[in-house]
Amino acid sequence: MAYENNGKPMPGDRVEETKTGRLGTVSEVLSDPNLAVIKWDDGVVGITYRIDANFKLVARAQSTYC
């Protein structure tokens, strides 16, 4: 499973839905690694989506590890 432009999703990733251009943030990657919960910039929260060719990674989540 990967974004359209490669990379596996991580919480905090900024994503763009490729068909609509809608922007949001991955809030959770579920136990099925093909599924993630997206919080959209337009205020919609907690919708689960398949992360595959339908999403493009805009910005990688910042690591909290040193």
Predicted local confidence at residue 41, as pLDDT: 94
Predicted local confidence at residue 32, as pLDDT: 83
Predicted local confidence at residue 66, as pLDDT: 47
pTM, whole model, 2 decimals?
A: 0.81
The rounded distance, in Å, linking the Cα atoms of 32 and 49 is 11
| Averages of pLDDT over each 10 residues, the chain, 66 residues | 74 92 93 87 87 84 63
Please, what is the Cα angle at 51 between 28 and 25, to 5 degrees? 45
